[in-house]
Amino acid sequence: MEKIKVMIVDDHEMVRLGMKTYLLTEDRIDFLGEAKSGNEAAQLAKQYMPDVILMDLLMENGNGIEATRKILSFHPHCKIIILTSFYDDEKVFPAIEAGAHSYLLKTATAEEVTGAVYKAVKGESVIASKVADRMMNRFRLQERKAHEELTTREMDVLKCLGEGMTNQEISEELFIGIKTVKTHVSNILSKLEVADRTQAAIYANRNGILHKTGKEE
């Protein structure tokens, strides 16, 4: 079995040493090297082209988010696992948006870290539970805000979509023209950021839109 090429990036020597010591005991892992800054990590990544990088976030001379973005620009198949002490929104979401594959906290065990490495090469992500909770809360907040942007009439149309009505049925139910219905549906899809009326219907049912009201037109 081909070994997994792994790099470590952290500005604390003892952290690097601890991770390195454990990784060297894993038969399936080929430890390539270590870096103490984001800029150094990008240089080593270009030289070694690792399969997986364990990446800290807060470092001098290039933080982990900048390094993640830079490395993936020339090595898009690399799986970058964030390994940090921070799980606030200002760290989590920029890291994910930069292309991080997984997000672990430094409270994770050595077995959990190596497990994330093995899963990464199979395309599986691992997200620390505290981080996952924040992601879900943000998603729920975005959803709640999304339908608050709908007008009263758009909410009426969304209610009809949730009940599976066709454009013709919506037209007859709300006493508006077909063209107007299509315009409202188009606006709803855009505001909710969903692909089609089926997804809009799912959104309506999941969020109990039957009992919601929107802004006046």
Question: For the chain, which domains are there?
Answer: 4-135 (3.40.50.2300), 144-211 (1.10.10.10)
pTM attached to this predicted model: 0.64
Which residues have CB under 8 Å from 42's CB, separation 6+? 62, 67, 70, 71
Neighbours of 94 (CB within 10 A): 17
DSSP secondary structure string for all residues of 136-194: HHHHHHHHHHHHHTSBHHHHHHHHHHHTT--HHHHHHHHT--HHHHHHHHHHHHHHHT-
Predicted local confidence at residue 208, as pLDDT: 80
pLDDT at residue 199, rounded to an integer: 86
What is the model's pLDDT at position 158? 94
The mean pLDDT values, 10 residues at a time, for the chain of 217 residues are 93 94 95 96 96 95 94 97 87 90 93 95 91 75 72 93 92 94 94 87 82 44
For residue 161, CA distances in Å to 65, 104, 146, 167, 214 come to 41, 40, 16, 9, 15
The predicted structure's pLDDT at residue 111: 93
